[in-house]
Structures are given as structure tokens and as C-alpha cells.
Chains A and B, each alone.
Chain A
Amino acid sequence: MDGGSATRRQAVDEAMRLDGNAAAGILSEVFVPDLTTARAACASCGAIREVGALFVYAHGMGTVLRCPSCGAAVLRVARTRTRLWFDATGARLLVMTAAE
């Protein structure tokens, strides 16, 4: 791949970037508490942020939530017609508010 197309792809990706808050719908299929106000610790750099403040890249069926500090994928969630996939290997810890 030449450098030019990689740069172009990165520019497109950046324009498509959303906030973690935009992933609240699909996350609500996995979690009962609202995950956008949960705190996530990035497993690669340790930065702690509200999930709503992560960067969201939604492509096709899958949504990737990345750490704004280091760019690592913290959470991935995807759905097919019959299954939900949730990958949290990039999160060292998730702390959410319990229901009363």
C-alpha cells in the first residue's frame, strides 16, 4: 500500500469518527446500565475515561471504541442477525453505576 492511500484512508476515518456516546444503542443490547457514563481503563496506556468520551469508529456491523490518548481499541461490539459480539480485551477495568 502506498503512503498516499494510507493517509487518505486515515483522513476519511477521522472525519467519520464519533463519540462513545454514539455507541450507546448497541452497547445497551449488551449491558443493562448505561455504559456511556461508565469509566473504562485503557489496557495499553492506562488512561481512564468515560466510555462516552472514547472515539467511536462504526464500520458495517461493527463498532470499535478507541482510547483518545493512545488510539488502542478499548472495546469492540458487533452484531450479526443472531449474535452479539463483545470484546473488552483492550479494557483493563470497566466501572459502571449500579441500578438502585
Chain B
Amino acid sequence: MSTVSAPARPRAIAWRLASVAEVRAETVTTRTLVLDVPGWPGHRAGQHVDVRLTAEDGYQAQRSYSIASAPETPRLALTVERLEDGEVSPYLTDVLRPGDRLELRGPIGGYFVWDVTLGGPLLLVAGGSGIVPLMAMLRHRAAVLQHADARARHEVPARLLYSARRWDDVIYREELARLAEGDETLEVALTLTREAPRGWTGFRRRIDKMMLAEVAWPPAERPRAFVCGPTPLVEAVAAALVELGHDPARVKTERFGPTGGSA
């Protein structure tokens, strides 16, 4: 009898030990963790990682965090909002320091992804920390198009509608302004739901159907829509887009859960 060697056992997405290279304050409650991840296989914009914390007694808590960095940048960045009574997020935002280790697996989830080759128009709608995976898409788009001509940019126009409580809660505020300034095919619209600075001329209410009709392309242009944030916001926005006539198959959602960020 001959022995047949078993085929190499395919491996599940591995847990890896990342090390924190940098911690950046984005807003009062959010921090970006820049990570070195040995063996990281690369990712697509929109994917996430699972982070796992293990207590000394062996108790483990696991949460998902979207990848904020573009696939084109060497280091992985996560942006985490601290929830006061949360189990995991306060550790990530307040305790971790450069040099610390963090266990994660990824990249995960090929469903909520976009790259330039998928084409546009690209409609992004975010609430609170739901901006994170959409920022990876915008950063990827900017990296790919930075040396392209105007025609290439016009083939993948992008619009972002982003809901935050206050001006100071707007994550990546300066970078978004910079990206939009240098690119006539990117439009960024903010809505501030709680409090707005003096002289604010932007939207001042929760995202609704009228706002979406104003910001989004008409359904006939067949935009690809990505909606991300707290579950109630995501469900309201996705339903409104479908009511406006957008194809449900082109409206992708990523629910962050009950609180997934202030919006």
C-alpha cells in the first residue's frame, strides 16, 4: 500500500502579534493606532481586523475594527473611539503605548470593500467612527489617482456625507479638507447633529432622505454606495437610499453595533 501524503492543511486567517508604532489623537475620544504587523499579507480598502485582548486569568474579549490606512501605505492604522463604559475600546485608546503588543487577525471581510478598479461614482455615507473604512477607500483612491490625469479622476468621482455630533468630533477633519481641496472630483459634506460652530453653513440635522437626495448622484448614475456607522444610522440611510430608487445590490452596509460611534 502506498501512502499518499495529505495535502497541506489550508490555514485559517492567523492571529498575529502587532506592535504599536505610534498613537495619534484624532479627536477628544478617538485615537489612531499605527501598527507594525509582521507577516501582514496586505488588505483591500474597507476590510477590518478582529482584535483580541486576553486577561491574566485567560478571559478573552474580541472586537472588530476597520482598517483606516490605504493598502498602499506600509503600516496598518486603526482608529478607535473610546466608549466610556466599553470593555475593549478604552484599553485601545487610553492604555496602549508605542512598543506595546496587540493581538489581531485579518484582513477580514471581502464584502464591504472598494477599489478604484471597481469604478464609480463612489457614494460614501458615514456616522461617527463609521468614517474609518470609508477613509481607507478615500486614501486608496487618492493614492492611486495622485499621478493620474483629470480624466481618470472623473471616472471615479467620490462624494462623502459624514454625520458627527460636533465640529470637534469630526475625525480626520483636516485630511478630508486637504483631500477635497486638491481634487475637483471629491466632495465632502458634513452634517453636525448636536452643535455647530458660529457661522456654520453646512447641514445641521440627522441624515435623512432629502439630504441624501441633495448629496448623492441620482439612481440613474448607478453610484456604488457604502454606508457605515452605528446600526440605527446605517439602517435609516440604507432604507432611504433604496426608497430614493438606488439598487439595493449597490448599497453595501457595515453596521458597527448599537453605539459604534457618535453621530
Interface residues in chain A, defined as those with a beta carbon under 8 Å from any beta carbon in chain B: 14-22, 24-25, 28-29, 32, 34, 36-37, 50-53
Contact = CB atoms under 8 A, between A and B. Distances in A.
A20 B108 CA distance: 12
Given A25-B13, A52-B111, A52-B112, A14 B255 contact: no
B257 interface: yes
Nearest to B104: A25
B13 A28 contact: yes
Contacts of A18: 231, 255-257
B105 interface: yes
B258 A28 contact: no
Contact of A19 (B50, B232, B254): B254
Nearest to B14: A28
A67 B177 CA distance: 40
A36 B111 contact: yes
A21 B111 contact: yes
A9 B50 CA distance: 27
The CB with the most chain A CB atoms within 10 A, among B109, B253, B254, B258, is that of B109
A53 B111 contact: yes
Nearest to A99: B10
B42 interface: no
Contacts of A22: 48, 64, 109, 254-255
B110 interface: yes
Q: Which DSSP category, helix, strand, loop or mixed, fits chain B's interface? A: mixed
A56 B106 CA distance: 19
B250 to A, nearest CB: 11
Interface residues of B, number: 24
A32 B9 CA distance: 10
Nearest to B110: A34
B220 interface: no
Contacts of A14: 231
The CB with the most chain A CB atoms within 10 A, among B12, B105, B111, B231, is that of B111
A95 B168 CA distance: 45
Interface string B1-16: 0000000001011000
A24 B255 CA distance: 13
A37 B110 contact: yes
Q: Which DSSP category, helix, strand, loop or mixed, fits chain A's interface? A: helix
A3 to B, nearest CB: 22
Contacts of B112: 19, 21, 36, 52
10 contacts: A18-B255, A18-B257, A21-B48, A22-B64, A24-B48, A24-B108, A24-B110, A36-B109, A36-B110, A52-B111
A23 to B, nearest CB: 9
Interface in B218-244: 231-232, 235
A38 to B, nearest CB: 9
A21 B258 contact: no
A5 B10 CA distance: 46
B257 A21 contact: no
A18 B105 CA distance: 19
Nearest to A28: B13
Given A14-B231, A22-B109, A28-B13, 5 more contacts: A21-B254, A24-B108, A25-B64, A25-B106, A52-B112
Given A25-B50, A25-B64, A19 B255 contact: yes
